[in-house]
Structure 1
Amino acid sequence: MNSAATSSSPAPALPACGVITGRNSTLLWGMSSSERLNRCLKRAGVPEVRTADRLGDLVGGTVLVLSNDWVFDVSIVIGLAKRPGTLVIDPLSRRPVAAHVDAGLVLATIALLNDGSGTLPGHIERLGPEEVSGTYNHELRKKESPYLLELTPETRAAVERRMFNGSYKGVTDFVTKFWWPRPAEVVTRWCSHLGLSPNMVTTIGAIGVVYSFWAFWHGHYISGLASGWIMTFLDTVDGKLARVTLTSSKWGNVFDHGIDLVHPPFWWWAWIVGLAAYGTPSEYATLALWIIVAGYVVQRILEGIFEWLFGMHVHVWRPFDSFFRLITARRNPNLVILTPLALLGRPDVGILLVALWTALSLLVHAVQIVQGLAARRRAPITSWLAA
């Protein structure tokens, strides 16, 4: 067999640089449009960014040109960086807004994007944003059209709302999905205008994690829950702030997700220890602790096994799996169980119900793996969101 025929095609070379053309003074999440476009280009792996009046010795290679009058979903810029010979057209106005062209065509492209006076050769492919980036966002686990929005003082509020909505995961728990969006949008805007970084918000949340552990341990359930709920809210804000401002980092991702992954079992352990101090000890406390902690760890392991076996997260396989992520025994749904029972003075009953729900959730995850293996024998399995 010819080895050349079986090897994969080399990935297209990234643009030699990016060019931002036009002037736009409208601020977006506390930053200029050009600053955000710079961050988009950096995410796309473009090594250098210039303005249209600073082309200088630009020769050879390809160039990615973006109009400063438009707000691009970062997936469009990433997709365009991989498609030389492409012009992106806004599907509503039919106006050209971005292009990836040879260096010799940069001036014509700038004129075309600025006022329509430039022309490009016929071999340049004209595509809409969905054709450039696709509609399935693997990172956020959702199927959604990428946004491409004109930025003016009049459209700024609507643009920010669309960007915030686009920053949300499609598959998550019901508290994050249905309770937090509107208040989180307000607080995210405050943070962006105050210059707070996502890591600063995560740090404040981490303080809440520690206080809730202490409060639960000593039977102070109401104050611990108040702190815990604030932490869960800030856990939504820091991620959204990172996405709308394009300020996420490897360290921030490890910091945020590391806290999310580690702290829940410690909270439930502290809750059980605090039952005696509160005056409601339970003879089933030790059993409940083992079920909750072991169930949490094994559930995470099962999710990892599913992803290893089938190349996707278990919660994006079928509509049921995405629905079950809303309510599965994770931190936020568990807090929904614990809060009303703590308010009623029965934290012991609340933690026993959490143990029961953890066991049932673990059973569901085990069945999902068995079902996946059976389904794969008939045909390769794919996410219903990517269909």
Structure 2
Amino acid sequence: MSLQPAEAVLGERRAWGAARPFWVLVQSGIDQFITYRPESVLSCDAVALTADWWVEWAAEHYAQEGTLLDRNAFARELRERAWIVGFPELDAMSRIDPSEVRARWGLPSDAAVVTLLPFPQGVGKASFWPRRIFGEPRRWRQLVHTLPRGRFEYWPYIRHGWTDARVVRAIRAFCDRNSARLLVKSRLKTPIPPYTQAVADKCLYDESHYPPTVLEALAVSDLCISFYSGTVLEAAALGTPHLCITFEAEAYCGENRELLGYFKRFFNDEEGGVFQSEGVSSCLGIPEAISDFAVTKLSDFAMSADARLRYIRKYLSYDDRGGAERLLDHVERAVAVDTRLPSCRP
């Protein structure tokens, strides 16, 4: 089992010979589909997916990228290889005690908690807007970046003060209005800015991989706020309402047309999509977050049990903690019938 397809690790199929191993590709969000070409995905004997929905999304993604001759044929072949197992990561929830997590992080047992996953500021990307405009809290520095380059399309951001720092301050005001603690969870590749550290009650990075720190944070949260983070799926699974602060894909991706394509296909605010799904996750633009969020009530983000169940069935298949067990069940059945794996049989 691997997060990489067989072809990416073993090379071209013709070089494998008779000793080729039985290869299971395990899905991790959209990563496998945006990193590898369709033929690499199909080089695997099985693909463990969280839900059938991802078959059609992958087929449409590759079709729009122009890497498929036959979209329907790819979808059919992927579906033949698919093991629908749910979300194995969620199995770690059995190891999380919310009371213990609150005590460890110094969060009162009776306090509401809002978890913020910070704006990534274009990590690993050369685009202009993330760091030099939205991620820059000082107006004079924005002007220094903008005027010599003639990037006047971002003047509204400078004029109105549409910055990450002001969004964060609005979130802090929202927490104060609702007597909630602000927990900021990030990753080392996305350092938490000083202006965010200054208003947070607790800042942390990944302290554990099993269970993942992000699941611990969601387990004690009444609301999760992010900027187009795939954590929306984990939040839904844990029953934590989600708010996505949206931004223009063109501004974030810059001149990277390949990045822009898949970004717009997945990270968008279309109704009924991953990020805008009534009763589970809602979207709010940057100007609205700054002007309106501070006077919003925490109860406005209550999750609907029925909407959550529909969301889970669409994107994650199972509302349980049995994904890893289902994956292993599939592996055991494959091992039992595959003549290449005699040493693995009980």
- With a CA cutoff of 8 Å and minimum separation of 6, indicate the structure with the bigger relative contact order: 2
Which has the larger helix fraction?
A: 1
Larger Rg: 1
TM-score, structure 2 as length reference: 0.29
